[in-house]
């Protein structure tokens, strides 16, 4: 199974927005750009919401049929490990193998030797397209083994566990939740080591410098990101030629939604190098649901306010799992009492990612982004509210995905 050149992670927390998401992709296709949808949902999200991988498959199939989608689509077992992968095996054909927790962990002597053998061909070589002054010497390889040998071998174990239990699938390896970014040289070594482990990786999600906070723009040096991204693309090309990895190997950008300042340089570099891209945008759809509830007014506005009020009271609990990817300024958060006087457009304006709108509140947006557990706890009450405001929500989901994400990344 091969992933298409361009693909979009379109996780749908509550399984209601698939047709609206596909409408954005159909609009892109009318513009001459084919983008394959990948429904992604992690084990953590399933547990928080009370859904299963079978639910995701069922709702994706229903959306595809309802929308008349004729192209490929995939289901991603997002951020899985050996302890969590089995429940996804009957339902998913795309696996995001997450080994960030193993980075920096000590590897066995056997694993360390195996990884050293996989990358030894690079010893003594230097690649100007990756770095101007960083030859791959014995010290560099030793540092690499200290950091990544255990992670690479764990990725191999997970990959072969999947391969032994299901048919063709797409493998992504994720190191984006590491504490520090990977250099292009380290990325090349990671890919070489994965090839040595027999992992036919098709997308790789490295950690870049800067912050990729949930639901808001990139925080960091855009010029530095562009340089890193281009050198990482070079590392992927070298990995294909040096190690025989799949020729469609491409970059994956996690927490990719709303990184507006990066989209122009990413589009420029994809065009320059003829490269592919996978970018995950899951949480932005959940936010559009809350925005749509606010805009629809009446009872659904009350539900949106209730979600924020609960999130405000439970900020510590809800933020903890996402502490490394949010920066919430509590002084910028209105109290629940203050929010009671807001109309629907005021709340929608605060949550919608439109930096030109003076009402936009990035801290509110990040808090609601990580608070979908609150909506899940409402059960049918929340789902009924989605039905009541479905037209408003669908328009927002499609417009957000196409105008703010697809067009600036893939079309221009």
Per-residue model confidence (pLDDT) at position 79: 95
Residue closest to 206 by CA, chosen among 248, 250, 246:
250
Per-residue model confidence (pLDDT) at position 107: 98
191-200 burial: b if 16+ Cβ within 10 Å, else e: bbbbbbbebb
Per-residue model confidence (pLDDT) at position 282: 82
Residue closest to 398 by CA, chosen among 281, 300, 299:
281
What's the rounded Cα separation, in Å, for the pair 171 and 135?
30
Per-residue pLDDT of the chain (412 residues; tens, 9 = 90+): 999 999 999 989 999 999 999 999 999 999 999 999 999 999 999 999 999 999 999 999 999 999 999 999 999 999 999 999 999 999 999 999 999 999 999 999 999 999 999 999 999 999 999 987 778 999 999 999 999 999 999 999 999 999 999 999 999 999 998 888 999 999 999 999 999 999 999 999 999 999 999 999 999 999 999 999 999 999 999 999 999 999 999 999 999 999 999 999 999 999 999 999 999 998 899 999 999 999 999 999 999 999 999 999 999 999 999 998 999 999 999 999 999 999 999 999 999 999 999 999 999 999 999 999 999 999 999 999 999 999 999 999 999 999 999 999 999 9
The Cβ of residue 13 has, within 10 Å, a number of other Cβ atoms equal to 21
Contact 410, 267 (CB under 8 A): yes
Burial of 320 from C-beta contacts in 10 A (0-12 / 13-18 / 19+): exposed
β-bridge mates for residue 277, sequence order: 6, 251
Structure token digits, residue 291: 């925005």
User: pTM surpassing 0.85?
Assistant: yes
Residue whose pair of structure tokens reads 């050293």 in the numeric block: 116
Q: What residues have CB less than 8 Å from 62, skipping those under 6 apart? A: 18
What's the rounded Cα separation, in Å, for the pair 281 and 6?
14
Per-residue model confidence (pLDDT) at position 379: 97
> 97: helix, coil or strand?
strand
Per-residue model confidence (pLDDT) at position 179: 85
Contact 178, 100 (CB under 8 A): yes
Structure token digits, residue 335: 């109290």
In 302-352, the DSSP E strands lie at none
Per-residue model confidence (pLDDT) at position 82: 97
Residue whose pair of structure tokens reads 């054909």 in the numeric block: 93
Distance of CA 286 to the CA centre of its chain: 14
Per-residue model confidence (pLDDT) at position 135: 85
Residue closest to 1 by CA, chosen among 157, 161, 167:
167
Contact 214, 370 (CB under 8 A): yes
What's the rounded Cα separation, in Å, for the pair 158 and 147?
19
Per-residue model confidence (pLDDT) at position 238: 97
Task: Label the pairing between strands 250-253 and 277-280.
Answer: parallel
Residue closest to 123 by CA, chosen among 144, 154, 153, 152:
144
Residue closest to 44 by CA, chosen among 104, 103, 98:
98
């Amino acid at each position: 199974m091969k992933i298409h050149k361009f693909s979009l992670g379109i996780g749908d927390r509550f399984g209601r927005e698939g047709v609206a998401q596909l409408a954005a992709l159909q609009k892109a296709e009318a513009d001459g750009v084919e983008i394959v949808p990948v429904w992604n949902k992690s084990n953590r999200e399933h547990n928080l919401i009370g859904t299963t991988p079978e639910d995701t498959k069922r709702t994706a199939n229903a959306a595809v049929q309802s929308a008349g989608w004729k192209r490929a689509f995939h289901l991603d077992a997002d951020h899985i490990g050996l302890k969590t992968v089995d429940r996804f095996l009957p339902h998913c054909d795309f696996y995001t193998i997450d080994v960030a927790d193993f980075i920096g962990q000590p590897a066995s002597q056997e694993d360390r030797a195996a990884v050293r053998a996989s990358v030894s061909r690079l010893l003594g070589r230097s690649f100007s397209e990756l770095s101007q002054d960083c030859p791959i010497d014995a010290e560099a390889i030793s540092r690499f083994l200290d950091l990544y040998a255990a992670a690479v071998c764990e990725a191999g174990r997970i990959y072969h566990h999947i391969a032994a239990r299901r048919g063709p699938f797409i493998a992504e390896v994720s190191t984006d939740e590491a504490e520090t970014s990977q250099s292009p040289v380290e990325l090349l070594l990671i890919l070489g080591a994965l090839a040595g482990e027999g992992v036919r990786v098709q997308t790789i999600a490295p950690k870049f410098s800067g912050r990729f906070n949930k639901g808001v723009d990139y925080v960091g040096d855009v010029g530095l990101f562009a340089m890193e991204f281009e050198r990482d693309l070079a590392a992927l090309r070298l990995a294909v030629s040096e190690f025989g990895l799949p020729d469609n190997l491409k970059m994956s950008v996690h927490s990719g939604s709303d990184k507006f300042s990066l989209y122009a340089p990413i589009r420029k570099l994809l065009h320059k190098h003829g490269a592919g891209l996978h970018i995950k945008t899951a949480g932005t759809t959940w936010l559009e649901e809350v925005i749509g509830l606010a805009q629809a007014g009446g009872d659904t506005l009350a539900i949106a306010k209730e979600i924020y009020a609960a999130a405000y009271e439970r900020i510590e609990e809800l933020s903890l799992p996402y502490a490394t990817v949010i920066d919430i300024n509590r002084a910028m958060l209105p109290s629940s009492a203050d929010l009671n006087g807001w109309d629907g457009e005021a709340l929608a304006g605060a949550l919608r990612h439109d930096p030109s709108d003076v009402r936009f509140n990035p801290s509110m947006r990040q808090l609601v982004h990580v608070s979908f557990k609150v909506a899940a706890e409402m059960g049918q009450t929340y789902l009924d509210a989605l039905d009541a405001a479905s037209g408003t929500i669908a328009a927002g989901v499609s417009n957000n995905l196409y105008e703010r994400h697809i067009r600036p990344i893939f079309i221009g």
